[in-house]
Amino acid sequence: GAVVSQHPSRVICKSGTSVKIECRSLDFQATTMFWYRQFPKKSLMLMATSNEGSKATYEQGVEKDKFLINHASLTLSTLTVTSAHPEDSSFYICSARRTGVVNYGYTFGSGTRLTVV
C-alpha cells in the first residue's frame, strides 16, 4: 500500500508556457501533500505544503504566483509552473502523508523532470 503516482515523468516546454504536474495518492487519502524541488546532486528542497480544501503554505522564497498549487480532493494535488523559464528546469517530486496517521513514513511520487527550453 501507500502508492503515490506522479505525472508526467518528463516534460519539455518552451519558455513562457505553463506546465501542470499531478500527484495522486492511489490507495490512501492524503489531506496533506508536499512539493519538493531537487537540483542535480542536491537535497530535496521543500517548496510548499498542499492542503486539501485550503490554500497551500509556501516556503520562504518560493513565488506563490509562479508555482500554483491546487489540492482539490483527498487524493490529488497539482503543481502548475506558470510562465516557465529555463531556470525553472529541475526535478520536482511530490510526497503524501496518510490522513489521520501520524507516525508513518511519507510516500514519494516518482518525480517529474522539467526542462524549459
Partner 1 sequence: QQPVQSPQAVILREGEDAVINCSSSKALYSVHWYRQKHGEAPVFLMILLKGGEQKGHDKISASFNEKKQQSSLYLTASQLSYSGTYFCGSLETSGSRLTFGEGTQLTVNP
Site residues for partner 1 per CB under 8 A:
6, 34, 41-44, 46, 49, 93, 95, 102-111
Paired sense of beta strands 10-13 and 112-116, if any: parallel
For residues 88 and 98, which CB has a smaller minimum distance to partner 1 in the complex?
98
> Grid coordinates standing for 75?
487524493
Residue 31: CB minimum distance to partner 1, A: 10
Residue with cell 504566483: 65
CA-based torsion, 92, 97, 103, 107: positive or negative: negative
Residue 44 or 68 with smaller CB distance to partner 1: 44
Quick one: 88 or 111, whose CB is closer to partner 1? 111
